[in-house]
Structure 1
């Protein structure tokens, strides 16, 4: 893996941690939802961050979090991460 790839991967991991700070209860009202914004990698490279919250299966179930970090002109060469936020039991 190149230094550039390492930088993108680190930015994606950081963004995934931020994306998962809200729990299922907070996110359920906003799923499905997505956003793309510009920012910087840990080494200062200008990149695009794409974050999505999608239902893993049926609406009301687990939420799939997707993060994609890429250079503005290199969408396909970016780093993609996916994680699930499990549905909280009904109380």
Structure 2
């Protein structure tokens, strides 16, 4: 179960990081939650957030959490930083 959630979180994090800093800066901070499926077909919630790492105008922290409905604490959280310098 955990491996499936982690695989879904890795895929979502890759998608979340396809935009460049310049494209994201105008919309940060921002977040969204939507329902979807893991690679194994399990129904889950995806939470994606773009937050300033150390302050507005700096690096952007991307957070992705994938969890079973009504079980946020059982989810997988991954983060990555998009550097302002590119």
Q: Please, what TM-score do these two structures have when normalized by structure 2?
A: 0.98
Task: Please say if residues 24 and 87 of structure 1, whose CA atoms lie closer than 8 Å, have aligned partners that are also in contact.
Answer: yes
**Residues matched between the structures, number:** 86
In the TM superposition, what is the alpha-carbon distance from 1:73 to its structure 2 partner? 1.6
Unaligned runs of 5+ in 1: none
Task: Please say if residues 49 and 69 of structure 1, whose CA atoms lie closer than 8 Å, have aligned partners that are also in contact.
Answer: yes
Task: Please say if residues 8 and 78 of structure 1, whose CA atoms lie closer than 8 Å, have aligned partners that are also in contact.
Answer: yes
Root-mean-square deviation (Å): 0.8
Task: Please say if residues 66 and 82 of structure 1, whose CA atoms lie closer than 8 Å, have aligned partners that are also in contact.
Answer: yes
Give the counterpart of 2:53 among 35, 53, 56: 56
In the TM superposition, what is the alpha-carbon distance from 1:88 to its structure 2 partner? 2.4
- Rg comparison, structure with higher value: 1
| Runs of 4+ with deviation above 3 angstroms | none
Q: Are residues 1:16 and 2:20 paired? A: no
Unaligned runs of 5+ in 2: none
